[in-house]
Amino acid sequence: MKLNILDRIVSDKRREIASKKSILPLVFIKASPLMKRKTLSLSKSIKNGSGIIAEFKRRSPSKQVINHKSSIIDVVKDYVASEVSGISVLTDTKYFGGALDDLIQARDHVNIPLLRKEFIIDTYQIYESRAYGADAILLIAAVLKPEEIYSFSQLAHDLDLEVLLEIHNEEELQKSDLTHIDMVGVNNRNLKTFEVSLQTSMELSSKIPDDKVKISESGISSIASIIQLKNYEYKGFLIGENFMRTDDPGKAAVEFIKGLANEN
């Protein structure tokens, strides 16, 4: 049977984690000085600010190269200047060109909430996220069992990390125990076709409990889209390619958020 892209990523991720555990056992991860750092709340920052989570992303399976020129340090500093509510840092190397080093460099240069965007399938990665400076982690419902969503999100809370649960459809939402979930993100990208439609966020909005911060992900490229999604009670908007595919992602974020503020 031919594996889809998500299956391939998870299969590779299992091998990657096994290698990491043999090289850097969990006991050393837990000894990181950043484990004692006071974390920042991404959910509160979203509710009290622009709502924009700007992403640092070099490439993707669907678009290949997006931006291999921009420096992580320059981009995250500019994102902060643009008054984003948080920054998403992709740490998968094989498919997205990211690295844990990106996360720790971002943490060293900014003091706003950082989301580690990764395919988390093992508790090792949750400790790792805390040790490298994340404030929140992404859990993807499509690759996790219901009991994993519960136990992983509980561990994250024990480590003072917030949790963004990503869903693609109602089935994934219904299977998920949201007890320890702070934010629910609706990915507008169809994993089978890679087509993107904001209709996905609109249709799922009423299904998400009101006590969870609603975030729309993928395909958000205009201020008009955000205004439309706000009518469906979305508070957060994860934007990556729209900024990163420009020569100056930080400047693009500044102009976008200024335009959004003027509309509001």
Q: Cα–Cα distance between 80 and 44 in angstroms, integer?
A: 16
Residue range 200-215: mean pLDDT, rounded:
97
Q: Cα–Cα distance between 196 and 219 in angstroms, integer?
A: 6
Q: How far is CA 239 from the centre of its chain?
A: 10
- In order, the DSSP letters of 128-154 are HHHHTT-SEEEEEGGGS-HHHHHHHHH
Closest C-alpha to 136, from 219, 72, 241, 46: 46
Residue range 161-175: mean pLDDT, rounded:
97
Average per-residue pLDDT for the chain: 94
Evaluate whether 140 touches 119 at the Cβ level (below 8 Å). yes
Closest C-alpha to 138, from 75, 108, 171, 96: 96
Q: Report the predicted TM-score, pTM, of the whole model to 2 decimal places.
A: 0.95
Whether the per-residue pLDDT at 61 is higher than 80: the answer is no
Question: How, if at all, do strands 236-239 and 52-56 pair?
Answer: parallel
Residue range 53-69: mean pLDDT, rounded:
81
Q: What pLDDT score was predicted for residue 43?
A: 98
Whether the per-residue pLDDT at 38 is higher than 70: the answer is yes
Evaluate whether 236 touches 213 at the Cβ level (below 8 Å). yes
**For 145-161, what is each residue's pLDDT tens digit?**
999 999 999 999 999 99
Q: How confident is the model at residue 3 (pLDDT cuts 50, 70, 90)?
A: low
Evaluate whether 64 touches 30 at the Cβ level (below 8 Å). no
Q: What are the extents of the domains in the chain? A: 5-263
Q: Which helix (H) or strand (E) holds 105?
A: helix 100-109
- Domain spanning 5-263: which CATH class is it, in words? alpha beta
Whether the per-residue pLDDT at 2 is higher than 70: the answer is no
Residue range 216-230: mean pLDDT, rounded:
94
Q: How confident is the model at residue 224 (pLDDT cuts 50, 70, 90)?
A: very high
